[in-house]
Structure 1
Amino acid sequence: MSKRIQAKYKIDRRMGENLWGRPKSPVNRREYGPGQHGQGRRGKISDFGIHLRAKQKLKGYYGSITEKGFRRLYEEATRLKGDTSENLIGLLERRLDAVVYRMKFVPTVFAARQFVNHGHVMVNGKKVNIASYQVKPGDVIEVRQKSKQMALVLESVDSPERDVPEYIDVDHKAMKGTFNAIPKLADVPYPVMMEPNLIVEFYSR
């Protein structure tokens, strides 16, 4: 098992939830946390702990975002007009790696980051290899021609495990899609409940 997969499953176990809704998640078999004390009785979580957990869960869902990068997204969300928690979700869903994952070109958010970094993706006809690149409504995202026959892509596209959300249109035969609109929290198909409002409280302390 690769280090990347181990890290992914460790996040699931630590949160006690199947973050990505995957059938192979160890949480499906063991709901307790990892480590020798994982089955011990959990005490009451403080307000700080609840807010921290909400942040770790949302940050963990999007894969390899650093704390510094996540904090930068939050600060940008506070500068935008409207509800900060909804703005944060919109910024996360506009990341190129998140869009590639939503379009089902790859099986996991971890694979999406690597896929983008290795230069397999084009935005509006130009290669973009920055996973954190912010996609805009109307942008066309496409798998590069030489990458369209990769086994990883073909298997992911055919997988019934996930559906493409309504704010994205995809033509899987052409391996191309359009990011139509910035979604709200209610539009994003999270397998578990996310609470970005608690993250706003966490950073507002």
Structure 2
Amino acid sequence: MSSRTSQTLRAFYDAMYKALGPQHWWPAETPTEVIIGAILTQNTAWRNVERAIENLKRANALDWERLYGLPFEDLAELIRPAGTFNVKARRLKSFIQWFHDRFDLDLDRMFEMPVSSLREELLEVSGIGRETADAILLYAGQMPSFVVDAYTARILYRHNLIDRSADYDEIKELFESNLPDDVQLFNEYHALLVDVGKKHCRPKARCEGCPLERFEHDAERED
């Protein structure tokens, strides 16, 4: 742990939280909905995921037993609004089959596992990448596993906290080794970074009004 890095990361959080307030993320009613949303949100806008989840709700299919027995074609049609629906239906089916075989569709049993062990197993499921696995752990399981995305990487790179070559796990480790293991902190921090990334730290930076503008940065740095 670097005390300077820890102080900087905490100062970033405080500045964003003061300016933007709580983000109330993840927008879901149940852990099941979080997991399905985390898989469906890959490479699409969240509004499309919401439409797909509404379809599942109307079909009474937001239930693991129901999803397990749902034919592939029916599932694909229900999640069509999320885009690449056949690919995502395969990913959902892969997760559900693993979840059935490993935990008998019991979320409590799944989230009783140590976070590092469960993360390793999730990453072995077809279609579950690092960001999706961490979103499931943090937002559905309330487990301290920091979620990294493109916004996070761009913000840290422009603020000279990482090199351009830093990969997902290096960035994740930067947060987890310099912040307390606090689920609510990880949750809010990631959501705040997403908000700043969408509004300000775009490929072409819009620094005016950014909560992080006062910190040393190079807005011309490209991904």
Same-fold call, TM cutoff 0.5: no
TM-score (norm: length of structure 2)? 0.27
Q: Which has the larger radius of gyration?
A: 2
TM-score between the two structures when normalised by the length of structure 1 = 0.29
The structure with the largest helix share of the pair is 2
